[in-house]
């Protein structure tokens, strides 16, 4: 009888463990995003890029939303507010801020400040979702952030003056981190009553009206240099950017978030700088350094212990 019980508990905890790693995989795909976004910034403004990206995503999400339309009847006021945070905040405004930050300010400061996202998400998850944190969670945060720092900067200290943090680009990156952290928490809240396909679709669809308004108010011309070849290059980069770090990553992310605490998921999101290391090595032939290897090991050590603790915690709850 005990063997049957243990077996059934293993089956129940397996989705939780796999859900955590789906979040890791989805977030890792975000690491290829700047590869396309920086190229697009040569031809389009930040708002134009995000608007076009969401138009592509709308074409994919609309049929999915139509099949899930019955879920819309159950949306209440709190869920509507959470959807606005996820779509307007996390999908529209945060993406615009991060895109602008890539093209202005101190790039190192932008990267470091963006890594503060877990702190926003963990704080909000504790307040809004009343999540209890695993044992030694604070230590694991420090280990993961230290690994992320080493991946980004190595042994160097990037800031010689406190004013490096106060540039426009840095403030935009900080705003993006706060919005993405809030979006993680609100997404987890929505998944308590909605399917992950519905949340993903509404994230992209509801962001479109706001993006149309922002782009119209910007008043920037749509200028793409290079004629037909330039337009084709922009279209290909836009399509790849929308479908890979956009759609596919969010589907994996929300499917995994369905069985993962928001406070835990936000640390799993730190997997994305590791993708950046692989991009630098494969695309730009930049060799991996010793600090980057150590940073890689620190992040994955933290992720492994978080995943193990989450599974043990759920198993104890099931036993009680």
Band the pLDDT of 3: cuts 50, 70, 90. Answer: very low
Q: Does residue 58 lie in a domain region?
A: yes
Q: Does residue 214 lie in a domain region?
A: yes
- ∠303-308-314 over CA atoms, to 5°? 125
Q: Does residue 11 lie in a domain region?
A: no
Q: Does residue 3 lie in a domain region?
A: no
pLDDT beyond 80 at 134:
no
In contact, 96 and 50? CB cutoff 8 Å: yes
pLDDT digit string, tens, across residues 152-187: 777 877 655 555 545 677 778 889 989 998 998 999
Q: Does residue 14 lie in a domain region?
A: no
Report pLDDT for 171: 79
Mean pLDDT (whole number) for 189-207: 92
Report pLDDT for 106: 56
Report pLDDT for 227: 61
Task: Look up the domain containing 200 and give its range.
Answer: 32-319
Cα 129 to the chain's mean position, in Å?
Answer: 19
Can you tell me the distance from the alpha carbon of 9 to that of 257, in angstroms, rounded to the nearest whole number?
20
Q: Does residue 261 lie in a domain region?
A: yes
Q: Does residue 259 lie in a domain region?
A: yes
39's CB contacts (< 8 A; 6+ apart) are 233, 237
Mean pLDDT (whole number) for 207-211: 95
In contact, 29 and 244? CB cutoff 8 Å: yes
Can you tell me the distance from the alpha carbon of 141 to that of 138, in angstroms, rounded to the nearest whole number?
5
pLDDT digit string, tens, across residues 261-294: 877 887 787 777 777 667 767 776 767 778 878 8
pLDDT beyond 50 at 5:
no
Which of 1-10, 156-165, 210-219, 308-317 is predicted with the least confidence, judged by mean pLDDT?
A: 1-10
Report pLDDT for 109: 61
DSSP 226: S
Residue among 211, 216, 234 at smallest CA distance from 54: 211
The tally of domains found in the chain comes to 1
Q: Does residue 134 lie in a domain region?
A: yes
Mean pLDDT (whole number) for 48-70: 91
Report pLDDT for 2: 41
| Mean pLDDT, the chain, integer | 80
Residue among 68, 86, 267 at smallest CA distance from 188: 86
């Amino acid at each position: 009888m005990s063997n049957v019980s243990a077996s059934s508990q293993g089956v129940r905890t397996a989705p939780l463990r796999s859900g955590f790693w789906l979040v890791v995989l989805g977030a890792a795909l975000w690491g290829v995003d700047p590869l396309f976004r920086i190229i697009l910034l040569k031809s389009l403004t930040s708002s134009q890029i995000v608007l076009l990206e969401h138009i592509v995503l709308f074409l994919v999400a609309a049929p999915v939303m139509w099949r899930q339309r019955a879920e819309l009847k159950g949306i209440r006021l709190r869920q509507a507010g959470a959807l606005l945070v996820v779509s307007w905040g996390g999908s529209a405004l945060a993406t615009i801020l991060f895109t602008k930050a890539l093209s202005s300010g101190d790039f190192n400061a932008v990267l470091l400040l963006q890594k503060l996202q877990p702190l926003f998400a963990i704080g909000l998850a504790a307040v809004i979702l009343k999540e209890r944190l695993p044992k030694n969670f604070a230590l694991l945060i420090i280990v993961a952030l230290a690994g992320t720092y080493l991946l980004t900067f190595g042994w160097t200290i990037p800031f010689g003056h406190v004013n490096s943090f106060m540039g426009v680009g840095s403030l935009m990156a900080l705003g993006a981190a706060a919005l993405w952290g809030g979006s993680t928490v609100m997404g987890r809240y929505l998944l308590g009553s909605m399917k992950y396909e519905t949340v993903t679709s509404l994230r992209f669809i509801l962001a479109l009206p706001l993006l149309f308004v922002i782009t119209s108010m910007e008043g920037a011309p749509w200028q793409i240099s290079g004629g037909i070849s330039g337009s084709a290059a922009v279209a290909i980069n836009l399509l790849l950017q929308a479908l890979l770090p956009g759609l596919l990553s969010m589907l994996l992310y929300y499917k995994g978030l369905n069985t993962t605490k928001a406070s835990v998921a936000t640390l799993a999101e730190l997997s994305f700088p590791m993708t950046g290391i692989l991009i630098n090595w494969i695309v730009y032939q930049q060799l991996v350094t010793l600090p980057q290897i150590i940073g890689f090991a620190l992040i994955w050590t933290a992720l492994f212990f978080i995943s193990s603790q989450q599974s043990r915690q759920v198993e104890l709850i099931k036993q009680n």
